[in-house]
A and B are shown apart, each in its own frame.
Chain A
Amino acid sequence: MDNSNMTITIDGQPVAAEPGMTILEAALAAGIYIPNLCHHPDLKPVGICRLCMVELDGRGLTLSCMTPVAEGMDVRTESPDIDKVRRVATELLIANHYPDCLACAKNDRCELQRIAAYVGVDQKGLERLRRTERRFEVDRSNPFFDYDPNQCVLCGICVRTCDEIVGVNALDYAFRGFQTVVSTFGNRPIAESTCVSCGECVVRCPVGALVPKDMPRPSREVKTICPYCGVGCSLYLGVRGRRVVSVRGDRESPVNQGRLCVKGRFGYEFVNHPERLTAPLVKRNGRFVEVSWDEALGVVAERLQGYRGDQFAAMASAKCTNEENYVIQKFVRRVMGTNNVDHCARLCHAPSVTGLVQSFGSGAMTYSIGEIQDAASIFAIGTNTTSAHPVLALEIKRAVRRGAQLIVANPKEIDLVRHACLFLQHRPGSDVALMMGMMRVIVDEGLEDKAFVAERCENFEAFRESLSAFGLDFVETTTGVPREKIVQAARIYATRKPGAIFYSMGITQHTHGTDNVLATSNLALLTGNVGRTSSGVNPLRGQNNVQGACDMGALPNVYPGYQKVSDPDVQAKFERAWDGPLSPNPGLALTEMFDAIDQGRLKALYLMGENPALSEADANHAREALEKLEFFVSQDIFLTESNRMAHVVLPAASFAEKDGTFTNTERRVQRVRRAIEPPGQAQPDWWIICQLARRMDVGGFDFSHPSEIMDEIARLTPSYGGISYNRLENGGLQWPCPSADHPGTRYLHAQRFNTPSGKGRFVPLQYRPPAEEVEPQYPLVLTTDRSLYHFHTSTMTRRVEGLEKLDGRELLRIHPDDAQRLGIADGDRVQVRSRRGRIEVQAQVTEICRPGVVSLTFHFWEAPTNVLTHAALDPVAKIPETKVCAVAVEKA
């Protein structure tokens, strides 16, 4: 039977319906209105408002939101019986609802108004129904939205949103009968609950009960991409005059389907901030003076002439667009004649590139966000996904709801643990031991995917031998995880397929970061969990465009598309394209630049939107180095801890003020669109670099729009070959996309790996302890993490008042056992010391840390965590070990 389509009759009209639809959905899809209040297309129906009543097959009344369609159904939406039910329900709601529609923010967009108008209520009858109830206080505790229980119609949409979509469950019904109210745990203000301020409930509330604090209506909307994390959510910026006044999630987007996190939805105020740089600044006698573009560019061009070659370096930016990163690396290579260009990916995902390239031939996430929900098992190690990649975490939770088993491995009991079936709380830095232990179990129990290993992989024997060093006794003592849990984790991941791995900086920011990454890829190869849908290895990229900045060759050893600078054929190709000589010598990594400045080898630095004085490990060293520079230019949207030391600071446009593209963590190239004019004289970063190149008399920088830059990128970068602006209008394209008719690639390595042999390569591993271990003087391990409410060095987020309110200061998280031993109480000021520096912060005593481990973020300049961290580097990836260092803590 072909049931792909069926027909039902509504009020005598034939209406097409699909199986699985409810009557209400079929009606709404056909443009027929049936009053409804508790229905929401994203949520499971519950049938509590009783407004959607219809008559079915002449028999009786039924709730249309709860009744699935069946072929030939005869539905009537009007009858005296229906009218009676609806009228009673509506009048009860209105009688007990806040009475002043005109003063309500939802006025004319309110579902209750719409229903009242449709049903037609009897005003006189209302008084009789009104209960003399005590009024509730309005909860204004959240900085972004208010909750007025007096306006609530108890539809439960917020409760279900927070459960089904967000998985936070901050809200539920409390009390019973007439007293029933939507409430947080303990009826506390929302800001004191587990609410993560995502606003998903607010956008769905049908009435004025949950509303944003201020809701100016925009005069127009522009579709673009969130500027914060690598998930790359699509959104609409609402513009009024020259200001951004609202944000709305893009429901059509395959990435976020309309959902946003607190930063994406509410974190845009920095764009309008009065501290934005609006004019070029040149330092004279130790002070910045505003000058014209002409003068500023003249100064920079003239000074840079004197630093051509390896005494010059540039730091590109994972915050900027692909086009801007392309232009700056071209500038460094073609105009300045050096490969000294790098960016903050060095500090986050360099090991993903070095590691995954060895085993798979490509350093990117192997599958797509949309595939996560179909995974059968998920292994999340070293990622605090709900804080750092919140919308992607929603997909992990969705997979769990659909039956996936989630294993979380993390030194801290992070939020995701609540959704996991197994939690492995291993010691910081013991990741290789943990995963090799799991693989040992898999091989010992014969659970590996033998066919996949034989046909698609190489170097298995050597790898297998390296497993012999990982007996479970050793693994248990090294990781601190009980062996039963390791065995259980191994079995779940090896047998419940497809299995997906997620990792982030908990894996990469170590001196053995590359080994950690290789452990994840070995694990995927061993179980055949790569090259198939919903399985693979996912390095969650931090910054909005860190994937793109790498793709664009803002790296010292590769041109765009990871084409090696040391390969003579590649060099010749780019010399032809860029019409001039290029250096064959790989340049300095960002982490090496500071030593080079120190030693006088590097004299001039160009900084595009980075803040190394806060983000570098051993930040004091970085800061001292910056002071030694002979010439230091920066372009940014704000003055930062770093560029205050610069000689020239150029005002840049923010994401809302320019066109371009970002590439998200799933390799999706998406369009960023200019919504407003930049403030004052600020200009997009690409424009600034092109102007400089022209002043320095080098051709090839005559772009008049970023789309022209993308055309050049496509010509020179095979994986971007088919990408052009007119193809990016709907939802973007995932690389590899080699030609104009190629649809893009959802998951990688389907037929062959990108390695020279086409096979996935096992890499034997050894356990190496962290570079710095605890000792009596520094008895605790410090690990760093992120807050949901801030981003990176928080140059942007701390200029959003509400985010600052939700999380305005650094906290040292410490286990009660350690706190007790050190005589520290919750809320005490403490001093944290390492061999390199000291900071003072407030302590938070919490069981989420293991005993012996403390943690800090690095978002706050008042307590610059990275003066403590260790700059020991991974030998291959040159990433510093910011996740582990030894510290002492005492009361301040």
Chain B
Amino acid sequence: MEDTRRLEAVFASFEGRQDELIAILQRVQAEFGYLPSEAMRRIARFVGVPESSVYAVATFYTQFRFTPIGRNHIMVCRGTSCHVRGAPRILEVLEKQLGIREGETTPDREYSLETVACIGACGLSPCIMVNKRVEARMSPRKVAQRFGKAAQGERT
């Protein structure tokens, strides 16, 4: 109910035209930090397009996310330098350790995982960012230690 009210407040400054869709998505994401499913459903009704089209538009632009950001927001650099030095493996290990895929958040909202373009620390590659802090010279083993334990510790 509370969410509905916040959404209605966003809608109030729009007319419900189809060409407003992206602007509405941006405002809703600003309001909630991500695009909740129920909000996208209501947006679809509001602008009069099918739900699947709203999803199509939202997924086309990388700016939108579909899960809330976790308390620890991990971004894996997939820039050229990091890629060459094993970023894909690091991502893979993280996905396994946290049990989520890129773009998702753990159900307890502790961790969220994303990839980003070069973060400008190529000299220290491969690197990741946790809550805006760069962590340099990562290796699959390091991330496994850092997040495997942490994740387990916090969940038990």
Could you say which residues of chain B place their CB within 8 Å of the CB of A173?
A: 56
Taken together as a complex, chains A and B put the C-alpha atoms of A175 and B55 apart, in Å, by 9
Partner of A186 from the list B53, B55, B60 (CB cut-off 8 Å) is B55
Chain B: CB-nearest residue to A181: B59
Contact call A172/B66, Cβ cutoff below 8 A: no
- In the complex, whether A183 has a CB less than 8 A from a CB of chain B is yes
Taken together as a complex, chains A and B put the C-alpha atoms of A176 and B59 apart, in Å, by 7
Contact call B55/A194, Cβ cutoff below 8 A: no
- In the complex, whether A405 has a CB less than 8 A from a CB of chain B is no
Contact call B55/A185, Cβ cutoff below 8 A: yes
- In the complex, whether B37 has a CB less than 8 A from a CB of chain A is yes
Contact call B40/A186, Cβ cutoff below 8 A: yes
Taken together as a complex, chains A and B put the C-alpha atoms of A174 and B52 apart, in Å, by 9
Could you say which residues of chain A place their CB within 8 Å of the CB of B41?
A: 185
Partner of A174 from the list B37, B50, B55 (CB cut-off 8 Å) is B55
Could you say which residues of chain B place their CB within 8 Å of the CB of A183?
A: 52, 55-56, 59
Contact call B55/A172, Cβ cutoff below 8 A: yes
User: Which chain A residues numbered 134 to 182 have a C-beta less than 8 Å away from chain B?
Assistant: 163, 168-176
Looking at the assembled complex, report how far the CB atom of A176 sits from the nearest CB atom of chain B, in whole angstroms. Answer: 5
- In the complex, whether A184 has a CB less than 8 A from a CB of chain B is yes
Could you say which residues of chain A place their CB within 8 Å of the CB of B56?
A: 172-174, 183
Partner of B52 from the list A170, A175, A176 (CB cut-off 8 Å) is A170
Could you say which residues of chain B place their CB within 8 Å of the CB of A170?
A: 52
Contact call A186/B37, Cβ cutoff below 8 A: yes
Interface centre among A169, A170, A186 (most CB of B within 10 A): A186
Contact call A185/B54, Cβ cutoff below 8 A: yes
Contact call B59/A194, Cβ cutoff below 8 A: no
Taken together as a complex, chains A and B put the C-alpha atoms of A173 and B60 apart, in Å, by 9
Taken together as a complex, chains A and B put the C-alpha atoms of A184 and B55 apart, in Å, by 8
Contact call A175/B66, Cβ cutoff below 8 A: no
Taken together as a complex, chains A and B put the C-alpha atoms of A193 and B55 apart, in Å, by 12
Looking at the assembled complex, report how far the CB atom of B68 sits from the nearest CB atom of chain A, in whole angstroms. Answer: 15
Chain A: CB-nearest residue to B57: A172
Taken together as a complex, chains A and B put the C-alpha atoms of A730 and B101 apart, in Å, by 56
Chain B: CB-nearest residue to A188: B37
Taken together as a complex, chains A and B put the C-alpha atoms of A173 and B59 apart, in Å, by 9
Interface centre among B37, B50, B52 (most CB of A within 10 A): B52
Instruction: Type the 1/0 row for A181-211, where 1 means its CB is closer than 8 Å to any CB of B.
Output: 0011111000001100000000000000000
Contact call A175/B60, Cβ cutoff below 8 A: yes
Could you say which residues of chain A place their CB within 8 Å of the CB of B50?
A: 163, 168-169, 172, 194
- In the complex, whether B3 has a CB less than 8 A from a CB of chain A is no
Taken together as a complex, chains A and B put the C-alpha atoms of A186 and B51 apart, in Å, by 9
Partner of A172 from the list B37, B40, B53 (CB cut-off 8 Å) is B53
Contact call A194/B60, Cβ cutoff below 8 A: no
Could you say which residues of chain B place their CB within 8 Å of the CB of A169?
A: 50-53
Chain B: CB-nearest residue to A816: B1
Taken together as a complex, chains A and B put the C-alpha atoms of A183 and B41 apart, in Å, by 15
Contact call B52/A184, Cβ cutoff below 8 A: yes
Could you say which residues of chain B place their CB within 8 Å of the CB of A168?
A: 50
Looking at the assembled complex, report how far the CB atom of A46 sits from the nearest CB atom of chain B, in whole angstroms. Answer: 15
Taken together as a complex, chains A and B put the C-alpha atoms of A725 and B53 apart, in Å, by 48
User: Which chain B residues numbered 24 to 59 have a C-beta less than 8 Å away from chain A?
Assistant: 37, 40-41, 50-56, 59
Q: How large is the interface on B (under 10, 10 to 19, 20 to 34, 35 or more residues)?
A: 10 to 19
Taken together as a complex, chains A and B put the C-alpha atoms of A854 and B56 apart, in Å, by 34
Looking at the assembled complex, report how far the CB atom of A503 sits from the nearest CB atom of chain B, in whole angstroms. Answer: 26
Could you say which residues of chain A place their CB within 8 Å of the CB of B37?
A: 185-186
Q: How large is the interface on A (under 10, 10 to 19, 20 to 34, 35 or more residues)?
A: 10 to 19
Taken together as a complex, chains A and B put the C-alpha atoms of A831 and B109 apart, in Å, by 38
Interface centre among A170, A184, A185, A187 (most CB of B within 10 A): A185
Chain B: CB-nearest residue to A173: B56
Contact call B59/A185, Cβ cutoff below 8 A: no
Contact call B60/A185, Cβ cutoff below 8 A: no
Chain A: CB-nearest residue to B61: A176
A174 in contact with B51 given A186-B37, A186-B66 (CB within 8 Å) = no
Could you say which residues of chain B place their CB within 8 Å of the CB of A172?
A: 50, 52-53, 55-56
Looking at the assembled complex, report how far the CB atom of A835 sits from the nearest CB atom of chain B, in whole angstroms. Answer: 35
Could you say which residues of chain A place their CB within 8 Å of the CB of B40?
A: 185-186
Looking at the assembled complex, report how far the CB atom of A96 sits from the nearest CB atom of chain B, in whole angstroms. Answer: 18
Taken together as a complex, chains A and B put the C-alpha atoms of A168 and B50 apart, in Å, by 8
A175 in contact with B53 given A185-B40, A186-B40 (CB within 8 Å) = no
Contact call B52/A171, Cβ cutoff below 8 A: yes
Chain A: CB-nearest residue to B62: A176
Could you say which residues of chain B place their CB within 8 Å of the CB of A184?
A: 52, 55
Looking at the assembled complex, report how far the CB atom of B22 sits from the nearest CB atom of chain A, in whole angstroms. Answer: 14
Taken together as a complex, chains A and B put the C-alpha atoms of A186 and B60 apart, in Å, by 13
Taken together as a complex, chains A and B put the C-alpha atoms of A163 and B40 apart, in Å, by 19
Taken together as a complex, chains A and B put the C-alpha atoms of A187 and B103 apart, in Å, by 13
Interface centre among A169, A171, A187 (most CB of B within 10 A): A169
Taken together as a complex, chains A and B put the C-alpha atoms of A171 and B51 apart, in Å, by 9
User: Which chain A residues numbered 435 to 455 have a C-beta less than 8 Å away from chain B?
Assistant: none
Chain A: CB-nearest residue to B45: A418
User: Which chain B residues numbered 56 to 75 have a C-beta less than 8 Å away from chain A?
Assistant: 56, 59-60, 66
Could you say which residues of chain B place their CB within 8 Å of the CB of A176?
A: 59-60
User: Which chain A residues numbered 80 to 126 have a C-beta less than 8 Å away from chain B?
Assistant: none
Taken together as a complex, chains A and B put the C-alpha atoms of A172 and B60 apart, in Å, by 11
Chain A: CB-nearest residue to B53: A172
Chain A: CB-nearest residue to B58: A174
Instruction: Type the 1/0 row for B91-125, where 1 means its CB is closer than 8 Å to any CB of A.
Output: 00000000000000000000000000000000000
Could you say which residues of chain A place their CB within 8 Å of the CB of B53?
A: 169, 172
Taken together as a complex, chains A and B put the C-alpha atoms of A184 and B37 apart, in Å, by 12
Taken together as a complex, chains A and B put the C-alpha atoms of A169 and B49 apart, in Å, by 9
User: Which chain A residues numbered 609 to 624 have a C-beta less than 8 Å away from chain B?
Assistant: none
Could you say which residues of chain B place their CB within 8 Å of the CB of A187?
A: 55
Could you say which residues of chain A place their CB within 8 Å of the CB of B54?
A: 185
Taken together as a complex, chains A and B put the C-alpha atoms of A169 and B53 apart, in Å, by 8
Looking at the assembled complex, report how far the CB atom of A12 sits from the nearest CB atom of chain B, in whole angstroms. Answer: 44
Chain A: CB-nearest residue to B66: A186
Looking at the assembled complex, report how far the CB atom of B101 sits from the nearest CB atom of chain A, in whole angstroms. Answer: 9
Taken together as a complex, chains A and B put the C-alpha atoms of A163 and B53 apart, in Å, by 10
Could you say which residues of chain A place their CB within 8 Å of the CB of B52?
A: 169-172, 183-185, 193-194
Taken together as a complex, chains A and B put the C-alpha atoms of A168 and B60 apart, in Å, by 21
Could you say which residues of chain B place their CB within 8 Å of the CB of A174?
A: 55-56, 59-60
Taken together as a complex, chains A and B put the C-alpha atoms of A163 and B51 apart, in Å, by 12
Looking at the assembled complex, report how far the CB atom of A557 sits from the nearest CB atom of chain B, in whole angstroms. Answer: 48
Taken together as a complex, chains A and B put the C-alpha atoms of A169 and B50 apart, in Å, by 6
Looking at the assembled complex, report how far the CB atom of A851 sits from the nearest CB atom of chain B, in whole angstroms. Answer: 15
Chain A: CB-nearest residue to B60: A176
Looking at the assembled complex, report how far the CB atom of B90 sits from the nearest CB atom of chain A, in whole angstroms. Answer: 15
Taken together as a complex, chains A and B put the C-alpha atoms of A163 and B50 apart, in Å, by 9
Taken together as a complex, chains A and B put the C-alpha atoms of A172 and B37 apart, in Å, by 16
Instruction: Type the 1/0 row for A739-776, where 1 means its CB is closer than 8 Å to any CB of B.
Output: 00000000000000000000000000000000000000
Looking at the assembled complex, report how far the CB atom of A401 sits from the nearest CB atom of chain B, in whole angstroms. Answer: 14
Could you say which residues of chain A place their CB within 8 Å of the CB of B66?
A: 186
Taken together as a complex, chains A and B put the C-alpha atoms of A598 and B78 apart, in Å, by 81
Chain B: CB-nearest residue to A170: B52
Looking at the assembled complex, report how far the CB atom of B8 sits from the nearest CB atom of chain A, in whole angstroms. Answer: 14
Taken together as a complex, chains A and B put the C-alpha atoms of A172 and B49 apart, in Å, by 12
Taken together as a complex, chains A and B put the C-alpha atoms of A184 and B44 apart, in Å, by 14
Taken together as a complex, chains A and B put the C-alpha atoms of A173 and B57 apart, in Å, by 9
Supply 13 further A-B pairs (C-beta < 8 A) apart from A172-B53, A172-B55: A163-B50, A169-B50, A172-B56, A174-B56, A174-B60, A175-B60, A183-B55, A184-B52, A185-B40, A185-B51, A185-B54, A185-B55, A187-B55
The 7 closest A-B pairs by CB, nearest first: A169-B50, A172-B56, A172-B52, A185-B51, A174-B59, A175-B59, A185-B55
Q: A-contacting residues of B (Cβ < 8 Å)?
A: 37, 40-41, 50-56, 59-60, 66
Q: B-contacting residues of A (Cβ < 8 Å)?
A: 163, 168-176, 183-187, 193-194
Please name 7 pairs of A and B residues whose Cβ atoms are closer than 8 Å in the assembled complex, sorted by A. Answer: A168-B50, A183-B52, A183-B59, A185-B41, A185-B52, A185-B55, A186-B37
